[in-house]
Structure 1
Amino acid sequence: MASRPVGRRRADRRSPRRERLDVPAGHGHGHGHGDHVVDTSVVDADAIVARRVRIVVAAILAPLITAAVITMIVLWPGGGVKVASYQTETARGEVTKLVACPEKRDQCDLATVQLSDGPDKGKAAPVQVPQAGKAPIPVKVGDTLMLGVQSDATDIADRYQYVDHDRTKPLLILAAVFALAVVALSRWRGLAALGALAVTAVMLTQFILPAILKGSNPLLVAVVGGTVIMAVALFLTHGISAESSIALSGTVAALGLTVLLGWFFTKLTLLTGIAPEGASAAKQFFPNLDLTGLLVAGMVIGALGVLDDVTVTQAAAVWELSAANPAASRAQLIGAGLRIGRTHVASVVNTLVLAYAGAAMPVLITFAIQGLPGQYVVSTELVAMEIVRGLVGSLGIIAAVPLTTALAAMAVADRSRDLAGTENNN
């Protein structure tokens, strides 16, 4: 009797429940390696998948997006939120001449600034600037400066004060290089991503910040604004499809969990939100401002971009797995998708925590100089706030992997079997 191949004997002994789905190379938006490319358009075009996704969209996604848009319209801030007593007129100009101050030769320099805007546009104004060697970045002839304007000063010599160097041009150059790099690599999709970035900027500056300052609940504003931002960003960048709809559903679910975790641990750790720079000034001009809610809202907004990356990757991975094996079961797809997600989350979580640690680096250095005990340092609000931010955001990212994977698996599992059953019934 001829013996069976070893691989066949192993396959026979394997229980169907323990079958694993091989992960195709090149999965998940470039997170894999290899030359194997799977055409996922067949999954999007599948009638079974379309019917399942329509159920998810109709039952979950559409009501949530509708509610977010309606709430955004209701909360939209009417009018400005500027405080008149806190406003400062501004001007800019180029340094054409630099001499020592006549009366304080050892303390400052006197710059002649050709004004390019402001109330005296086109005129030359004398402005006292920090002396070379007494400022981190000395003022030189040819530099463009930002100036504050004392509007009630009658003499032009007393009207302008040095604020900082004008960095508009180098920032625009950096933005242009970034935009060209995105478009060069991703082409039309990159252009769409830049459009989504512009929508995000508009939402932050025209809705989220003004609505919070108008007295709306910061958590509600962050959830509503975040949901709208993610809907626009995902559909604009990746198109309106079954895959992007599932990714958005996972994002919104993880976003809600992040809000709950952020609120709970902010209360548990007794964070007030007063520690961040600028918080006390904002509270002074807006006494009803909820700083604790603002802190949690910042956690939510900070985690949005990474949540987007994780959910899109997980949905794309499950789509490719289904395209490679239309008969794959829900359990097989979830198992393979989670194996992909583990690697991705390990790197993304580290990135998020390091980003928050980098933002708190000056504070950490100050504590290091003081030689304070570690337990004391982490209990201070400035450090505890960054720890809560990093860990809450990471928990939201971790939750996004199984949530999105499960939703995607429910949408595309057993495609060929369901289709065969439908044909037999007909």
Structure 2
Amino acid sequence: MARVTGRHAHAHSHLDAPDGPDVGSRPGARRALLAFLGVAGLATVLGLVLLWPQGDARVEDASAAFVAPGVTFQSAEVTDVAEACPAPQPAGGTGGTGSDPAAPTPGTSRGDVERQQGCGQVSARVLTGDEAGTEVTVGVPPEVSRSGLRSGDRVQLLQVPSQAGTETPFSFVNVERNAPIGWLALAFVVVVALVARLRGLLALVGLGVGALVLVRFVLPALLEGGDGLLVAMTGSSAIMFVVLYLAHGVSVRTSAALAGTLLGVAVTAAIGILAIDRTRLTGVSDETGQLLATFLTDLDFQGLLTCAVIVAGLGVLNDVTITQASAVWELRAVAPELGRAELFTRGMRIGRDHIASTIYTIVFAYSGAALSVLLLLSFYERPALSLVSTEDFAEEIVRTLASGIGLVLAVPITTAIAALTVEAARPRDTADA
């Protein structure tokens, strides 16, 4: 009995999670796993060093082209909101002399309607800049007037340098939403802290690190013309190393999930490259892409789309891999007599259920993000197959399917890694002893 206990104790490692089940790992498999992660970590560090953005001046030139010299953005507090103007009637429509006396004359423009009726206007007091304290009136789109804008809200105004003898002109830019978004973010942090406690807070720290990698490395590197595939692989690997170990602890179980995640990212990248090439996607599908193409002529938009495919699947990929690794460890804890093949089979039963629910999550998440596009295409009443071929629709389909394939294949990959890494089967009576 003492000999068995000694072997069991030797199978454990200081890497095993302190809050996980009392299950060890195979020394040989553990060394192979850590060697793989060591190579991946060194490659990630090397990629960060070689691809780190150097602060190319052309990024500043591109950003300066959006605003004319002397133009500034000012904050203002809303003091009064007029009702939204009715939509201009097309020529030949009802209105003017029709049954509704308040309706605009047929063919009148929005500017004419505002001048005639005084609608669609917002009065505001400028809070920043040289004109602070000045009361101004600006026109806003009808949807802004109908959104619930009221006195006390803050808006952002564009100020153009005044000409000699003329009043400084202002125009509406957008509603400032920092305060409500900040309160919502605070509520999110509080709920996570109360429910998930320390583990949830560590996950939030990892999320912050991930955002920092995206803002300080991925985006600037892409703007400087970096290869989209290499930038995405390097940034994703760096994020996953930090997020997984920070949120789930340093353990063999987490390492198995990390290895599965990295391999899943590689599969997603391969599928994404192949799909983008075969579908001849350009990566320029909307006004944002066209604007980038105007100022960044040497930006590889297909590489940018590949990067988007990889980054889009990170969160869900991390979810399924850590779940599969934990499932295998828990199965070993409650059924120490199971062989590795049976352990893999039972782990995959859990994985299949997780795959089904996660696929729904991916598809509906993309559908919700593209709901306006779906409505517009439905309004056009075009055949479904012709919609699939449109650039904006095809991009979402390729992004969803490439991420989905990587996600699905990550489940058996992670389950196999965990089943091979966890300690060997033992008779139940020996384990209990």
Decide: shared fold, TM above 0.5: yes
Give aligned-pair identity as a percent.
36
Conserved 8 A contact 1:108-1:131:
no
Counterpart in the other structure of 2:7:
none
Q: Does 1:329 align with 2:339?
A: yes
CA contact (8 A) 2:139 2:172 kept: yes
SS of 2:338's equivalent in the other structure is: coil
Instruction: Render the CA deviation track for 1:143-174: whole Å, top value 9, x for unaligned.
Output: 21012232566679434321111111111111
Please, which of 306, 312, 315 is the counterpart of residue 325 of structure 2? 315
Question: Partners in 1 of 2:187 and 2:316 — Cα distance?
Answer: 23
Matches within 5 A, 1:81-92: 81-82=59-60, 83=62, 84-87=64-67, 89-92=72-75
Other structure's SS at 1:145 match: strand
Residue-pair matches, total: 376
What are the within-5 Å matches in structure 2 for residues 369-384 of structure 1?
Answer: 369-384=379-394
**How has the CA–CA distance of structure 1 residues 338 and 97 changed in structure 2, closer, same or farther, with 3 Å as cutoff?**
closer
Instruction: Report 1:245-256 matches (<5 A).
Output: 245-256=255-266
Secondary structure in 1 aligned to 2:353?
helix
Counterpart mapping for 1:235-254 below 5 A? 235-254=245-264
Shift of 1:377: 1.2
Q: Which 4+ runs in 1 deviate beyond 6 A?
A: 99-103, 131-134
Counterpart check, 1:66 vs 2:42: yes
Gaps of 5+ in 2: 1-18, 84-110
Deviation of the 1:55 alpha carbon: 2.1
Counterpart amino acid of 1:289? L
CA contact (8 A) 2:21 2:330 kept: no
Residues 1:54 and 2:64 are matched in the alignment:
no
Question: Greater shift after overlay, 85-94 or 155-164?
Answer: 155-164
CA distance in 2, matches of 1:220, 1:151: 44
Q: Structure 1 stretches of 5 or more lacking a match?
A: 1-38, 421-426
Q: What's the CA shift for 1:90? A: 2.1
With normalisation by structure 1, the TM-score equals: 0.81
Decide whether aligned partners of structure 1 residues 156 and 78 sit closer, same or farther in structure 2, where only a CA change above 3 A counts: farther
In structure 2, the residue matched to 1:227 is 237
Give per-residue Cα distances to partners, 1:356-398, cap 9 Å, x unaligned.
1222222221121121111111111221211111111111110
Is residue 326–residue 416 contact of structure 1 (8 Å, CA) maintained in 2? yes
- The answer on 1:339 being equivalent to 2:382 is no
Corresponding position of 2:414: 404
Q: Go from structure 1 to structure 2 and tell me whether the alpha carbon gap of 1:408 and 1:362 turns closer, same or farther (over 3 Å shift).
A: same
1:42 to 22, 26, 48: 22
Which residue of structure 2 aligns with residue 115 of structure 1?
126
Give the whole-Å Cα distance in 2 for the aligned partners of 1:254 and 1:305: 12
**C-alpha spacing 1:89/1:76, structure 2 compared with 1 (3 Å):** farther
CA distance in 1, matches of 2:259, 2:190: 31
Match of 1:96 in 2: 79
Once the two structures are TM-superposed, the CA of residue 85 in structure 1 deviates from its matched residue by 1.4
1:219–1:296 contact (8 Å) kept in structure 2: yes
Query: Quick check: 2:348–2:415 contact (8 Å CA) kept in 1?
Result: yes
1:123 aligned counterpart, secondary structure: coil
In the TM superposition, residue 64 of structure 1 has moved relative to its aligned partner by 0.8
Is the 2:229–2:303 contact (alpha carbons within 8 Å) kept by the matching residues of 1?
A: yes
More off after superposition, 73-82 vs 391-400: 73-82
275-284 or 259-268, which deviates more: 275-284
Conserved in 1, the CA contact under 8 Å of 2:281 and 2:391?
yes
> Pick from 242, 258, 263: which aligns with 2:268?
258
CA deviations over 1:8-38 (Å, ceiling 9, x no partner) = xxxxxxxxxxxxxxxxxxxxxxxxxxxxxxx
Q: Where in structure 2 are the equivalents of 1:155-304 lying within 5 Å?
A: 157-304=167-314
Deviation at 1:253, TM superposition (A): 0.2
